Amino acid sequence: MALSWLEISKVPSVIVEIVMGVLIGPYVFGLVGGDEPSLNFLSYTGFLFLIFLSGLAIDIQKIIASFPRGRLHMVDIISNSFLVAVLIYLGSLLLSIAVVYGLPFFSGIDQPFLVILLPSVALSIIVPIIKNDGEIARKFGQIILLEGAIATIMTIVLIAIYSGYYRNSGFRFELLLFLIIFVVFFIAYWVGTVLVKVSLFQKLLYKLEHAASQIRIRGSIAVLLLFVAIASSINTEPVLGAFFAGTLLSIFLPKDRSALLFKLDGMGYGFFIPIFFIMVGVKLDIASLKDFGTSFNFILTLIAAIYLIQLVPSFIMVKLFGWKRSLSAGILLSARMGLTIATAQIGMTLGLITPATNTGIVVVAILIGILSPLLYKLLSSEVDHFYSIYIVGGSEAALELAKRLDLHGISYLVIESKGDRWHKLNDIGIEVLHANDQDPDTYRFLKVRPVDTFVVLTESEKKNILIAEILRVQLDHSKVITITSKPELYYDHRDLNDIQVVNVHEIIATRIENEIMRPTTTHALTDSFGGYIVEEIPVRNKAIDRLYVKDVPFPKSGSLVVLRRENEIFIPHGDTHLLIGDMVTVIGNASALEEFRKLLD
């Protein structure tokens, strides 16, 4: 109600809830004193729900899928999404240590606690922004999302370990009891993987799901209570149990995951979590800010420290996305909100920080929570343009590929050394650069990123090899694709073993096989190219989230073919729900594809 009345829906609701708490608290209207047992119980329940939903929001399967495979090369370290995210977090953690122990402003605060607190990230702010910008499925968005997930996991685990260490006044054997919760987690995971394969269990679960008893909600709450009870019984921080409960459920949620999340979000963010943030506002020690000079210096120093520890490690992405893009990523990752405030509450409860310090941290989280998204939007609108595909050579194959990339809306640049071909491509609207394709400086001038792909399609086998060697050996660029009708030519070039060489004979054989086995489909997709195209489009449009396929006005000249949700693939029909995050394979002509993109993405 407050959000609608004040017309400030663009401000995170957490900020409004904290301000409302301050207003009804003892320092303004005095309606709530902050020591009411019932409100404190509801507040703590909301706190546990916040951490539980943080675990539920983390996609463990996506993190595992991003692990590097095989032997690592230097280029993998700066281009693999998971490794880049890990390096950003480790960099922010190391800088936190340097800042906290190096600046005199933090000398009176429990320093290990502050080191854990500073790298925490506000996924609740980051995820909606990168979703709205269409970055959630792209490499840039994936790195930001992974870093946020890693920071969330590490903050919760480290604060739980440190709180146990602090309670025990040092390291004791009892401190290792927190490992029990890891054991329970892996046992539950193993039991779950066995049960989901049992047909009798699947049938029982299906019946219970469609009953009126909301068994999934009850089961989710039961898992939350179980892990919180285990954490409390071994004298570790209950938030660790809540987080692992959410993480466990996130692994097993099937294709209707968003429906369950919607219900749990309704319980959490609709009731319990707002009470937690309102009580944070009620308990804020506003009087501690009366020494304006000291408070202002602490707040200003903390803001500078957060931006420093997040911006510097983010510049590891410069080779991938450029300076402006890396800067915008660092600024967005600097946003702090729910997890930072929740961690500060743990610190104040344990006596690690004073009420005055807690107030300063909450004020900083509010200020950065507003400022960082605004700065990110400002920088994102001014980022440099990059090509994701570079086609070397203006051959007929290159022209055909360029036309297909145009239909998919993928940015590319053709590099052609011959003047007549350059004119021909330029005249028909192909974006082409007239340059020496055998000069390494040509590619250096382009400022190519490790994530960009080179497709070498000249009309000479030897020239293809020569250009591939320039790219792979001299410029150390591994994402190279070329074609050959003589694979034996590459046997003596071991330095080209890790580039992708497409055998022309295999392509011809595959085409003929399709003509024999699937003639109708093959003709539809190839003979009428420009008429019908197949494309994968992610569902990012919130307006169609949870709608039935039959209720969306899809173009008549196209059709949905396959829908992929999480790790499952199925054929959509009229009564299939569309959910944010789905990947839909569609077929249609160029105009139909454009309509599909507008509706889905």
pLDDT at position 74 is: 60
Pick from 458, 480, 514: which residue ends a domain?
514
Range of the domain at 589: 530-600
In the beta sheet, which residues pair with residue 583? 538, 564
Is 520 a member of any domain? no
30-47: burial string, b at 16+ Cβ within 10 Å, e else: eebeeeeeebeebbbbbb
What residues have CB less than 8 Å from 142, skipping those under 6 apart?
Answer: 62, 66, 81, 136
Is 524 a member of any domain? no
- CATH number of the domain to which 436 belongs: 3.40.50.720
pTM recorded for the entire structure: 0.62
Average pLDDT for consecutive 10-residue bins of the chain (601 residues)?
A: 45 76 85 85 88 78 65 63 88 94 81 91 76 69 84 85 76 69 85 74 59 71 90 81 85 58 80 87 73 72 93 88 87 87 85 85 86 84 70 86 76 87 82 87 80 86 88 85 84 77 84 77 58 76 81 81 76 81 81 81 76
Cβ atoms within 10 A of the Cβ of 164, count? Answer: 21
pLDDT at position 315 is: 92
> What is the number of domains present in the chain?
3
Residues 192 and 317 in one domain: yes
Tokens of 508: 């011809």
pLDDT at position 401 is: 86
pLDDT at position 6 is: 44
Is 475 a member of any domain? yes
pLDDT at position 4 is: 45
Query: What Rg do the C-alpha atoms of the chain give, in angstroms?
Result: 28
Is 21 a member of any domain? yes
Residues 172 and 221 in one domain: yes
Residues 149 and 267 in one domain: yes
Is 521 a member of any domain? no
pLDDT at position 554 is: 85
- CATH number of the domain to which 95 belongs: 1.20.1530.20
pLDDT at position 334 is: 92
Tokens of 204: 């029982």
pLDDT at position 596 is: 84
Contact 270, 208 (CB under 8 A): no
Residues 478 and 541 in one domain: no
> Ramachandran region of residue 268, left (φ > 0), alpha (ψ -120 to 50) or beta?
alpha
Pick from 328, 362, 380: which residue ends a domain?
380
Residues 112 and 261 in one domain: yes
